Amino acid sequence: MAHIKMTIQYDGTRYSGWQRQKKGRDIQTVIENAISKIFKKDIKIRGAGRTDAGVHALGQVASFKAELKMPPGVLKKVLNSLLPEDIRITGVDEIDDSFHPQYSVKRKSYIYYVCIDEDCQCFIKRYVWHYPRHLNLSVMEESLSLFKGTFDFTAFSGSTNVKNKIRTIYDFTMQMLSELCFLDMKIQGNFIKFRIEADGFLKYMVRNIVGCMIEIGRGKLTHEQIKKAIQKGERPKPLQTAPACGLFLEKIFY
């Protein structure tokens, strides 16, 4: 019995999230159906973690066990031939039985894109948060350090049954971009790229932190309010949860 690890890329626009669900179309079930068709038996996969409805992934990871009678590279090709075009398997490897896609994780990173132009080109609207308002970018950059470190991030989580909400953010960066590459086009504009790396994330945590950064840029939240929110575990006000469309699961580190 082989233990097979997959690296997965997907456009989450048409899906109700990664995790298997009773209602809606989820990514996990679509992949499981393709694998089950290949091996002619019901096979379930384990993922590194959930992504919400509309969130994309560049490097999701999942694994399963099966009697593998073909090279991993061939399995990858067959899987991709059965999957819809907005889900791609970018890597297939045989791994040790001790590997667990969720519990072996050391870090995860996410990327979030914001377009701050008055008009946002239609080609990228499903992959950015279009926010055409003036933002104080220097104050936003100064605020990045507020989130780095080990804290209880209750104030920035959605409703969840997770009891331990302490997480460590190792890196949080903000980069201004004058263009985004899409297909063979270079789309000109004014974009903000956030990248955040941590030992784990709570539900809506990245989207709430990005939303918080936007409110800081608008002058609606101060550094002191953010510090107090983290200390008290109370959601700062005002705070808009950033939409799912701009969020990408970048990489899982093992």
> d(Cα 213, Cα 208) in Å, to the nearest integer?
9
Domain boundary (35, 63, 94) is at 94
Annotated binding site: 110
pTM over 0.85: yes
Whether residue 46 is contained in a domain is answered as yes
Model pLDDT for residues 124-133, shown as the tens digit of each residue: 999 999 999 9
Picking from 4, 33, 49, the residue whose alpha carbon sits closest to that of residue 251 is: 49
CATH (domain of 131) = 3.30.70.660
> d(Cα 38, Cα 31) in Å, to the nearest integer?
11
Q: Answer yes or no: 52 catalytic.
A: yes
Residue that wins the pLDDT comparison between 234 and 182: 234
Whether residue 100 is contained in a domain is answered as no
Model pLDDT for residues 200-230, shown as the tens digit of each residue: 999 999 999 999 999 999 999 999 999 999 9
Same-domain pairing of 88 and 120 = no
Q: Per-residue pLDDT averaged across 178-197, rounded?
A: 90
- How confident is residue 186, by pLDDT bands cut at 50, 70 and 90? confident
Same-domain pairing of 123 and 149 = yes
Same-domain pairing of 152 and 74 = no
Provide the 3-class DSSP secondary structure of residue 77.
Answer: helix
Whether residue 99 is contained in a domain is answered as no
89: its two tokens: 């398997």
Same-domain pairing of 70 and 144 = no
Same-domain pairing of 60 and 148 = no
Same-domain pairing of 226 and 112 = yes
Model pLDDT for residues 135-158, shown as the tens digit of each residue: 999 999 999 999 999 999 999 998
- Residue position matching structure tokens 């939409």: 243
**What's the mean per-residue pLDDT of the chain?**
95
The separation between the first and the last C-alpha atoms of the chain, rounded to the nearest angstrom, is 23
Report pLDDT for 162: 87
Write out the residue range of the structural domain in which residue 14 sits. 2-94
Q: Per-residue pLDDT averaged across 95-115, rounded?
A: 97
What is the per-residue DSSP string for 186-218? EEEEEEEEEEEEES---TTHHHHHHHHHHHHHH
pLDDT value at 6 more than 80: yes
Is the alpha carbon torsion for 24, 105, 129, 211 positive or negative? positive
Whether residue 85 is contained in a domain is answered as yes
Same-domain pairing of 140 and 88 = no
Report pLDDT for 32: 98
Domain boundary (35, 67, 94) is at 94
CATH (domain of 33) = 3.30.70.580
pLDDT above 70 coverage of the chain, percent: 100
> d(Cα 27, Cα 7) in Å, to the nearest integer?
13
Tell me how many domains the chain contains: 2
DSSP bridge pairs for 5: 63, 93
Model pLDDT for residues 155-183, shown as the tens digit of each residue: 999 877 888 999 999 999 999 999 988 77
Q: Which residues lie below 8 Å from residue 174, measured CB to CB, with a gap of 6+?
A: 137, 140, 141, 144, 192, 193, 194, 213
Catalytic residue among 26, 52, 119, 152: 52
pLDDT above 90 coverage of the chain, percent: 92
Whether residue 101 is contained in a domain is answered as no
> d(Cα 56, Cα 248) in Å, to the nearest integer?
5
- How confident is residue 184, by pLDDT bands cut at 50, 70 and 90? confident
Annotated binding site for substrate: 110
Whether residue 137 is contained in a domain is answered as yes
Report pLDDT for 160: 74
What is the per-residue DSSP string for 215-246? HHHHTSS-HHHHHHHHHHT---SS-PPPPGGG
